[in-house]
Each structure stands twice: as C-alpha cells, then as structure tokens.
C-alpha cells in the first residue's frame, strides 16, 4: 500500500473542517429553509468556528511556536496550513456577517421580528432601554481604567468586553485614556422588549447596543471618544499528565479553570474599532494581524442561538414531529420481555429515545435486576438516565458507571454526575488513563428462573436525551448471549486489570477495530480481483486515518465500488484516475446532525453490516475505547441499509459531492422529484405535525 502514501492523495484536515462549516453556512443561505432555522444555522457556524479556533488553530499555533516541521499525510507544514486556514476563515466570517446583515435581519424584520439598532430607537424605546441599563446592567459592571495600578485585566475566553477610549481626567486627576468594561456572563446578550415598546410582536435589542449607548454613565465627567466591543478566543484543550496524576477527577477539576485563560488564538472586534485600538488589543493578547477578525455586528453570534425558540412563529421553523416507536417496543411495556422476543433497532431522532430511558428505569426498579453497567461520554446536566442509575444504586443494586471525564466541553457536567453517583453508592470508574472511553454501552443483569440473563444496549451516539432529538444515530437492544458476553468483557477491561481477550462479535479500539476494518476492506479487494461483485458503503463523521485511506485506494484500484458518506472532515481524494476513480464521497448537511457510523461490506453476498461509536480517525482507532458491533438479525440489517445508507446515497437536496480537489458541489434535483433523506425518514418513521416548513 506504500504506492498510496503520496502526499498528493491526502487533503488537509483543518481546511476540510472549514469546508464543512461552509456547507453549514450554505444551510443558512438556503431560502428553502425556514427563516428562523436559517438564523439558527448561522449561529451553529459561529459555535463550530469557536471550537475550531479553541482546538485546531490553537494546536497549529503551538506547533508553529515549537518550530514543528513534521507534516501530516498532506505534506503541509503548520505555518503553511495556518496561512491557508486564516485566509479561508476570514472569507467564511465575512460571508457569514454579510448574510446576517443583508439577508437574515431584513427578512426577519419583514416578519415583524426586529433587532433594533441604536440608530433606530424612538423616544419610548430609548427611555425603556435607559431604564433597563440602570436597573439591570450598570449595577453589575466594573469598568477598569488602565494605568500602572490597573494593568490590562484577565479576559475570559469568549467573553464579551468593551474597550473604551476616553478624554479628560477622573476624580484623582488620572488620564489613562483607555478603559476596559467586561460584560458579566450572567447578563443576557439579547434582550426582548415589551410588545408595546417594540411596536412589533417580537422586538429585541443587543446588550452591546445598550452598553454602547450608555457607556458614558460609567465614566462621570469624562468624554467617551469611542467604545468597541471585542472578544478573545483562547486555547481550550485541557492538559492532564497521564504519568503524574493520582486522581483523574481531582486533576481535571484543577485544570478546568485554566481553560478560561489559555493562550489567545483569535481576536474579534467590531468594525467601528479604530486601527490603533485593534493593534493595542492584539499586543495585549500576543496576537498578529492574521488573528484579527473585524465584524459588522455582534462579535458573538452564538448568543442568538436561543432566539428562534423564544419566538412563537411555527410557520418560520421546521415542522415539529413526534418520534415513532418500533412495533416491538410499542406493543410491550416490558422492555425485557420485548428484547427476549427479538433484537430491537432504534433510529434516532426519527424514533424515540424513550425506550432507552425505559430500559434503564425498568432495570432500576425491577427487583429481579441485580446489576447495571453503563458508559457515559456526554449526557448533559439534566439527565433522566443518570437519575435512574442513582435510584438503582440507592435501592441496593450493583451499579457500575464508566464516566469519561475528558469528554471535551462536558467535563464539568460529567464530574458532577460522577460525584452524585458515588454518593448514591454506585461504582464509578474513569476508564483507562490515556484512552477516552467513547463506546456507548449499557448492560443489565437480571435473574430469570434458574439463570442470570444479560441484556445490552449498544449505540452510535451518546446517552444524551437532548442530542438524540437533533442527531441521527442508531441504537440496538439484544440479549444475544455472545454479544452480551462481549460487552461484559469490555466492561471488565474498563473496571479491572488484565489482558484483552478475544471477542466474538465486537470489534474494539484500541485492539481490533482498525485491524478488522483493514481486513474487511482487503477482503472486498480480493473479491474484486477474483472478478466477483465487491462494494463498500461507509457512513461516518470524519475520515482521516492514512492506512484506512490507503486500503480504500487499493480497493478502488482493484475495482471495488466504494460509497463514503462523510459528514465533516475527509482527507481522502475521490475520483483520481487509477487510484480512487471508483470512490464517491458525499456529505449530508440538513436539519439533523448526521452522527451515525455505519459500515457495510458486500462480502460475496453476505452483506455484513456494522454500527459503531467510532469514526475512521487515528484517535478513534488508537487512543480511544470504541465499540463496533454487527447487526445480526437479517431484518434489522435490511433496515440499517434502507434507512441509514440508501437514502443518503439518493439524496439530491442536502447532499454535497466532493471532487478530487476537495471541493464540494451541492446536488440538485435534475429529473423527477426532489429527495431529502432526512425528510423521507421523518415521513416513514415519525409523526410529522402540519404547519412549519421543510424537513
């Protein structure tokens, strides 16, 4: 496979991630989407870009600082990547704010949803806002004048701040000329006006506008020359020394506060900011000109994310729906009885997550259940599942929970749940230091007649009730003895000590998943070379691992038909003559975040189907504990293919196809009716309410 290791065959990870965010931005630009959903997509882009800078750009800057010359598979050194990333990111942000100001805001105003700028306030609105400032804003502000006794303050990561240029002397005769005002996070960034004041059904004003209008009240007797909002993004990757820590939870609790004050990586300022002030701020944060993002509007669009939910206009949102239930679950109130009859497949969000919650709740209250084991990666601050596990432990059941404390940006919530579980008497372990526990597994042991029977749930997504309404994922219930034994063995690895044994059905990282996938790809290659039909269909979030990509290139060269549905980052180049001409790469970006991982191998007619928690990335194969499990029931296997793969390959509305240069082109209906994978699955699996728009 060394023939396929050439740098020209690999795309850059950071640039591919920016291309994904361009596809998300295209959803905000698409007039076919409901207007308030377009605003939400615009905010999602900002949220994604925040994490991109906090993690990916921060990593690039560290490599540049350390003079790292080692290039990835694409062959580009960090400094070159940063230059290209900066150029692309600036273009994306410019496009984003143009859409916000020139399209979204005017279109919302036509629907009587108005964001009132300072220049638009009438006397009544100005008086209400002034009263709000003195009542709600001014009491919590602490302006800091810069002088030798008041150095530049520590600025929290992603917080809203104002740099104020002043003229005159204060009560002590000081004349620094500059002050910083930090907006506490407790203050809302978007304030709803009363209807009679707004003179429309939904009127809003930005906190930044309120502070701009009244900032002079903070500096009595001085003249404000300028007031400029700014926001700094910092390196937010946590560092925990695997070799030094004695208690992972305590180490992480000590590290979390530093996330707010890591090295600066990006400075966002309003477009009215003077060049002198922008340079002053760049100097304070140790940043260069390429790190400056000057925007027309609020420097933090993420704070508008909840606005669509606060506006009662269902006609401007996606149609609501009620998730369906498989017949096997709908008929049986008893989850254990239902699972004994047959394996059960759930396809979220089209089908309800409630059976998973019921499974754990019933296990917690069932006197025949003796033990419950579960992994927790992301579950949220308010979780019915965690409450059920706590109740089970309090009732005397043997409850073991593997809590991944290093789930990025969910560390604090997981630490809190771990403490509550321990207080309730559960066994809480943090997996294996150095390997994130990313597998999604729940195991229940129940005494039935003269034996102990195991039941398991395996999933491609998190045990997070909120995201199961937004992410596409599969979950499988089974009491198959061999599958249950495999899951029990993995829990044994996580909680105990000893060698990893041979699993019967599961492919597991970091031990066998990578090896088994390469083996399955090579198996298709052999079938193709022997003149037999050979095909691979794989769906995932990201595709980066070089040896997997090389194996796919080899398979393509042998004639294997390969369809890759990669939502986000993809380093593989399709369509290269003699290398990847049999590979097609497409990305689905729509109402729901495509999150399921599905691997299909034709295997000379056996049609093997696997579901997994793992993407095809180095970290998932070698630095995480992941589970990849087969769908053994032929009926359910057909469902996974017909619901999880075929609709994505047929989609001509929300699908984007990649060319060999890494550019994406959106599919459009040419003949026949438009076909949306997500829209079709809502129709056949869920109950969609009338009204609203789109999928």
438 carries an active-site annotation:
yes
pTM of the model: 0.92
Q: How many CB atoms lie within 10 A of CB 577?
A: 7
- Thinking of the domain 508-688, which architecture would CATH place it in? 2-Layer Sandwich (3.30)
Q: Domain 2-313 class? A: alpha beta
The answer for 142, left when phi > 0, alpha when psi is -120 to 50, beta otherwise, is beta
d(CA 206, CA 190): 5
Q: Is the pLDDT of residue 164 over 80?
A: yes
d(CA 107, CA 96): 15
- For residues 167 and 564, the model is more confident at 564
Phi and psi at 146, nearest 5°, equal -90, 120
Max CA distance (Å), the chain: 89
Out of 309-323, 403-417, 601-615, 633-647, least confident range: 403-417
Looking at the DSSP bridge assignments, the partners of residue 226 are: 165
- Name, of 318-332, 523-537, 661-675, the range with top average pLDDT: 523-537
At 262-283, the pLDDT tens digits run: 899 999 999 999 999 999 999 9
At 93-143, the pLDDT tens digits run: 999 999 999 999 999 999 999 999 999 999 999 999 999 999 999 999 988
Q: DSSP characters for 512-574? A: THHHHHHHHHHHHHHHHHTT---EEEEEES-B--HHHHHHHHHHHHHT-EEEEEESS-B-BPP
Residue-level pLDDT at 617: 97
Please, where in the chain does CATH 3.30.870.10 lie?
Answer: 321-505, 508-688
Query: For the chain, how are helix, strand and coil distributed in percent, rounded to 5?
Result: 40, 25, 35
Q: Is the pLDDT of residue 466 over 90?
A: no
The helix (run of H) or strand (run of E) holding residue 478 is strand 471-478
Q: Is the pLDDT of residue 408 over 70?
A: no
d(CA 315, CA 392): 43
- For residues 631 and 144, the model is more confident at 631
d(CA 115, CA 205): 5
DSSP at 100: I
- For residues 239 and 328, the model is more confident at 328
- Outline where DSSP puts E strands in 127-212: 144-145, 161-167, 178-182, 190-193, 202-206
Confidence band of 256 (pLDDT split at 50, 70, 90): very low
At 2-19, the pLDDT tens digits run: 478 889 999 999 999 999
What value does the CA radius of gyration of the chain take, rounded to a whole number of Å? 27
- CA neighbor of 474 nearest in space, from 694, 326, 321, 320: 326
Helix, strand or coil, per DSSP, at residue 296: coil
Q: Is the pLDDT of residue 242 over 60?
A: no
Residue-level pLDDT at 248: 46
Which residues, other chains included, contact 330 with Cβ-Cβ below 8 Å and sequence gap of 6+? none
Which residues, other chains included, contact 464 with Cβ-Cβ below 8 Å and sequence gap of 6+? 378, 379, 380, 383
Q: Is the peptide bond between 57 and the residue preceding it cis, with omega within 30 degrees of 0?
A: no
User: What value does the mean pLDDT take over residues 304-308?
Assistant: 93
Residue-level pLDDT at 186: 86
Q: Is the pLDDT of residue 35 over 70?
A: yes
Q: Is the peptide bond between 429 and the residue preceding it cis, with omega within 30 degrees of 0?
A: no
Q: Which residue has the tokens 């300022």?
A: 269
Q: Is the pLDDT of residue 72 over 90?
A: no
Confidence band of 243 (pLDDT split at 50, 70, 90): very low
- Outline where DSSP puts E strands in 1-154: 113-115, 144-145
* 321-505 CATH choice from 1.10.3720.10, 3.40.50.1010, 3.30.870.10, 3.90.79.10: 3.30.870.10
- For residues 106 and 185, the model is more confident at 106
The helix (run of H) or strand (run of E) holding residue 440 is strand 440-448
Residue-level pLDDT at 261: 59
Phi and psi at 149, nearest 5°, equal -90, -15
β-strand 398-403 against 369-376: which pairing, if any? parallel
Answer for the pair 153, 178: CB distance below 8 angstroms, yes or no: no
- For residues 472 and 70, the model is more confident at 472
Please, where in the chain does CATH 3.30.1840.10 lie?
Answer: 2-313
**From 212, 347, 438, 464, active-site residue:** 438
Confidence band of 150 (pLDDT split at 50, 70, 90): low
Confidence band of 238 (pLDDT split at 50, 70, 90): very low
Residue-level pLDDT at 694: 56
Strand order in the sheet with 292-295: 144-145, 178-182, 161-167, 223-234, 264-270, 292-295
Q: DSSP characters for 112-137? A: TEEE--GGG--HHHHHHHHHHIIIII
3-state secondary structure string across 209-260: HHHHHHHHHHCCCCEEEEEEEEEEEECCCCCCCCCCCCCHHHHHHHHHHHHH
The answer for 617, left when phi > 0, alpha when psi is -120 to 50, beta otherwise, is beta
When the pLDDT of each residue in the chain is averaged and rounded to a whole number, the result is 90
Residue-level pLDDT at 526: 98
Residue-level pLDDT at 249: 46
Residue-level pLDDT at 144: 86
- Outline where DSSP puts E strands in 72-177: 113-115, 144-145, 161-167
């Amino acid at each position: 496979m060394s023939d396929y290791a050439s740098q020209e065959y690999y795309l850059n990870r950071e640039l591919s991630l920016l291309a994904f965010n361009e596809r998300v931005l295209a959803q905000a630009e698409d007039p076919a989407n409901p207007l308030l959903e377009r605003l939400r997509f615009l905010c999602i882009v900002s949220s994604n870009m925040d994490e991109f800078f906090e993690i990916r750009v921060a990593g690039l800057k560290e490599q540049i600082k350390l003079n790292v010359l080692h290039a990835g598979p694409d062959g580009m050194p960090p400094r070159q990547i940063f230059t290209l990333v900066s150029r692309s990111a600036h273009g994306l942000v410019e496009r984003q704010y143009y859409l916000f100001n020139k399209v979204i805001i005017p279109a919302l105003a036509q629907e009587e949803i108005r964001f009132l700028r300072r220049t638009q306030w009438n006397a009544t609105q100005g008086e209400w806002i002034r009263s709000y400032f003195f009542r709600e804003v001014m009491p919590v502000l602490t302006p800091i004048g810069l002088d030798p006794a008041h150095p530049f303050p520590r600025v929290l990561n992603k917080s809203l701040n104002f740099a104020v240029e002043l003229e005159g002397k204060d009560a002590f005769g000081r004349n620094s000329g500059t002050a910083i005002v930090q907006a506490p996070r407790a203050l809302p960034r978007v304030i709803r006006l009363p209807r009679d004041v707004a003179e429309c059904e939904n009127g809003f004003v930005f906190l930044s506008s309120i502070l701009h209008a009244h900032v002079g009240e903070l500096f009595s007797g001085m003249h404000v020359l300028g007031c400029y909002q700014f926001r700094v993004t910092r390196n937010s990757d946590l560092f925990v020394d695997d070799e030094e820590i004695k208690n992972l939870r305590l180490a992480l609790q000590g590290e979390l506060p530093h996330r707010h004050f890591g090295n600066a990586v990006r400075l966002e300022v309003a477009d009215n900011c003077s060049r002198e002030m922008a340079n002053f701020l760049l100097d304070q944060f140790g940043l260069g000109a390429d790190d400056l993002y000057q925007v027309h509007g609020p420097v933090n669009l993420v704070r508008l994310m909840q606005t669509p939910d606060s506006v009662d206009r269902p006609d401007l949102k996606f149609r609501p729906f009620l998730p369906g239930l498989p017949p096997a679950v709908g008929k049986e109130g008893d989850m254990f009885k239902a699972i004994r009859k047959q394996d059960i497949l759930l396809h979220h969000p089209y089908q309800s997550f409630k059976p998973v919650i019921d499974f754990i709740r019933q296990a917690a209250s069932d006197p025949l259940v003796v033990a419950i084991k579960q992994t927790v990666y992301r579950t949220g601050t308010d979780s019915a599942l965690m409450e059920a596990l706590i109740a089970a432990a309090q009732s005397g059941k043997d409850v073991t929970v593997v809590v991944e404390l290093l789930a990025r940006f969910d560390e604090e919530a997981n630490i809190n749940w771990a403490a509550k579980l321990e207080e309730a008497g559960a066994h809480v372990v943090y997996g294996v230091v150095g390997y994130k526990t990313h597998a999604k597994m729940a195991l229940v042991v129940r005494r039935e007649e003269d034996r102990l029977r195991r039941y398991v749930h395996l999933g491609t997504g998190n045990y997070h009730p909120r995201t199961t309404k937004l992410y596409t994922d599969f979950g499988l219930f089974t009491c198959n003895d061999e599958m249950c034994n495999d899951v029990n063995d993995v829990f044994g690895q996580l909680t105990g000590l000893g060698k990893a044994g041979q699993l019967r059905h599961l492919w597991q990282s970091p031990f066998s998943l990578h090896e088994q996938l390469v083996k399955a790809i090579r198996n298709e290659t052999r079938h193709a070379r022997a003149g037999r039909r050979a095909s691979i269909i794989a769906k995932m979030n990201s595709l980066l691992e070089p040896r997997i990509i090389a194996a796919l290139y080899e398979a393509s060269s042998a004639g294997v038909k390969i369809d890759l549905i990669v939502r986000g980052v993809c380093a593989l180049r399709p369509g290269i003559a003699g290398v990847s001409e049999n590979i097609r790469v497409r990305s689905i970006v729509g109402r729901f975040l495509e999150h399921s991982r599905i691997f299909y191998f034709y295997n000379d007619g056996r049609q093997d189907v696997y579901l997994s928690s793992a993407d095809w990335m180095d970290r998932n194969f070698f630095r995480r504990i992941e589970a990849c499990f087969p769908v053994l029931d032929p009926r359910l296997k057909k469902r996974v293919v017909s619901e999880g793969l075929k609709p994505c390959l047929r989609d001509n509305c929300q699908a984007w196809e990649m060319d060999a240069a890494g550019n994406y082109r959106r599919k459009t209906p040419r003949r026949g009716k438009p076909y949306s994978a997500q829209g079709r699955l809502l129709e056949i699996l869920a109950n969609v309410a009338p009204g609203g728009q789109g999928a």
